[in-house]
A and B are shown apart, each in its own frame.
Chain A
């Protein structure tokens, strides 16, 4: 890493989603929550799997593993709580993650041109290239692609009953 790289270096949280590792800007992350209860109710928002309760707030959970890892998240998982922007306001949202998270400081490089729009760059950690996830872009792309989605959470709610 040279001097230019150091000025560009920022903190990122490395998360494990399925069998893949991603990075998220630490500035947007508020906490890693334990595997608390996921509450389901009938709704039709794309990606939203339900809500969890953290620090007196009701936090929506985005099941991004279907997009990022091609499978549903396991039942017992941790939740990484990060801010999502809604115009001038922001709201916490949670994504299920597997196992430990790690805080790293590294310079971000431009994403591969073939990467989806929700990948905002890559980090080189050791010999690994890790994609940096933009949660807003990811959810927005899912919303745009699922305008006619079937209601979510209903089947899960019934299975739990």
Chain B
């Protein structure tokens, strides 16, 4: 049975053609705007990553230094509530002090439209995603780079870093 199709064919599209990087986390495909990624590195090259001592935000265990900035390394599996697998790559983001651990880069491509997340979605995904892309018969969530850490989480992580630095200073002074 097919009842009259009354709905318009156009969706709420927020932007036209956009270059995106398609990547996977625990076999789930995501897209992120290419211009929001500064660098892609292998996790093996992150030998200089420092462990951060805090328990409140389990998705962040390390920091990395790039261009005199400290980036918080977010495990995307934990962030999205996916099965935790060993990441092989890290996406260092441009707009925020966040580096994201991911499994694999599928490819870089262009999507013709990013559809706004339907209003039916009311959970944390509204912060995680800018919208949805329909590409090669797949609906792919498009990442909001600002959604990995909230302002409050940045504040707490910065606090942990400052605390660790003062602890090291104190230990250094005791040794001298």
> Which A residues contact B (CB, under 8 angstroms)?
13, 26, 29-32, 37, 39, 41-46, 48, 51, 53, 55-60, 62, 81, 83-84, 86, 89, 91-93, 100-103, 139, 143, 149-152, 154, 157-158, 161
Number of A-B contacts (CB under 8 A): 114
- Asked whether B27 lies within 8 Å of A158 as measured between CB atoms, the reply is yes
Tell me the complex Cα distance, A150–B81, Å: 9
B161: min CB distance to chain A, Å: 28
- Asked whether A42 lies within 8 Å of B82 as measured between CB atoms, the reply is yes
Contact with A along B133-149 (1 / 0, CB 8 A): 01001111100000000
- Enumerate 5 A-B pairs (CB-CB under 8 Å) in ascending A order: A29-B3, A44-B81, A58-B132, A152-B123, A157-B82
The B contact surface, by secondary structure, is: loop
- Asked whether B7 lies within 8 Å of A151 as measured between CB atoms, the reply is no
B10: min CB distance to chain A, Å: 7
Given A39-B138, A149-B123, A157:B28 Cβ within 8 A: yes
Most A C-beta atoms less than 10 A away, residue of B2, B120, B124, B137: B120
- Asked whether B132 lies within 8 Å of A51 as measured between CB atoms, the reply is yes
> Which B residues contact A (CB, under 8 angstroms)?
1-7, 9-11, 26-28, 30, 80-83, 115, 118-125, 128, 132, 134, 137-141
- Asked whether B120 lies within 8 Å of A53 as measured between CB atoms, the reply is no
